[in-house]
Amino acid sequence: MARRGRAAVVLSAVLVVGVAGAGAVVWSDRHPGEGTRATAPARVRTTTVTRTDLSDSRTLPGTLGFGSAHVLKGTGQGVVTALPKPGVHAVRGQALYRVDDRPVPVLFGTTPFFRPLSKTGVRGHDVGVLGDNLRALGYDTGPVGTSRDDGEEFTPSLAAALKRWQHDTGQDATGTLAPGRAVVLPGAVRVDAVQAQVGDPADAALLTYTSAAKSVTVPVEATDVGTIKVGDQAQIALPDGRNVRGTVKALGRTVQGGGAQDAAAQTGPATVDVSVVPNRAADVSALDAAAVQVRFDTTTRKAVLAVPVSALLALREGGYALQHPDGTLVAVRTGMFAGGLVEVSGKGLAEGSKVVTAS
């Protein structure tokens, strides 16, 4: 802002206006410019220009737990003779329950065993689940015959590996696999509750399971969920006063509430569940469930110059300035507003500088 001739600085009004929830002083200066002097009050309050990190954050309530429970329904023939206790974790290759007093081990995958695997040459994704798990358990399954669409082939080498694994784990070492002789789960899940009883048929609903890892479920307004991304960092405030770091792992795909059919019972806006997992499981090892607060840092500005918002002078002709204690006005550009501070930049502005503030 260049000086035009001999400019007299006239203070015509001092107004307090709202800027991001705080006050800013409005100055009138016909020809404002760097180095322009305004008549400063005899006694003024000052603040220091600091270099800091600013984050645009929001804090929302959430619930710490193991997430939603899913029902495990048994398959095949027989009678349930042993069941796990709540809290037990499913382990790949180890028995989760017993049918007809025979162990039913856990394998990880997405396709259940829906048919007997007894004849070599058959192909399918269920065969791929068997092969992937045997290899993960350290068994040599020979050359892998796979197809993107048809899955893996049940080869003689795979059947031989299956037989060795069955022998090692106390199963009938037949080299074949019938439905109900192994259970497929999505991973190392945790038994949440047992629904069946010893003596029930094997094809009944046996138990419910959850994720083995604790997470925080946070309902976020559907209109705001787009500002949160998988992989974003968050801070979890626990009931004991500790703050621990977490990572956004999943965004829900189901909008809850907000529909016309729910209008009578609607008590708030439509929401989507966001899942946040603590970065260190040990941080929440003493808790199974708790109400917590989660802070999402949606935007962060690193190592920027900042002042309290109340230090801004809103110029009548547009833009902002800061005032040094001697009355000098320095034009500044504003950036992020966060936590009562505002990011500022401009020629002649430096960390440690003293500027006038309204409060």
pLDDT of residue 259: 58
Domains and CATH numbers, the chain: 16-57+303-357 (2.40.420.20), 70-210 (no CATH), 215-299 (2.40.30.170)
> How far apart, in whole angstroms, are the C-alpha atoms of residue 24 and residue 2?
23
Low-confidence ranges of the chain (pLDDT < 50): 1-35, 263-264
Would you list the DSSP string of 172-240? ---S-B-TTSSEEESSS-EEEEE---TTSBTTSEEEEEE-SS-EEEEEEETTTGGG--TT-EEEEE-TT
pLDDT of residue 301: 87
pLDDT of residue 179: 94
Long-range contacts of 120-123 (CB under 8 A, 24+ apart): 120/153, 120/154, 120/155, 120/156, 120/158, 120/159, 121/153, 121/154, 122/153, 122/154, 123/147, 123/150, 123/151, 123/152, 123/153, 123/154
pLDDT of residue 338: 84
pLDDT of residue 64: 97
Closest Cα to residue 184, out of 110, 124, 125? 110
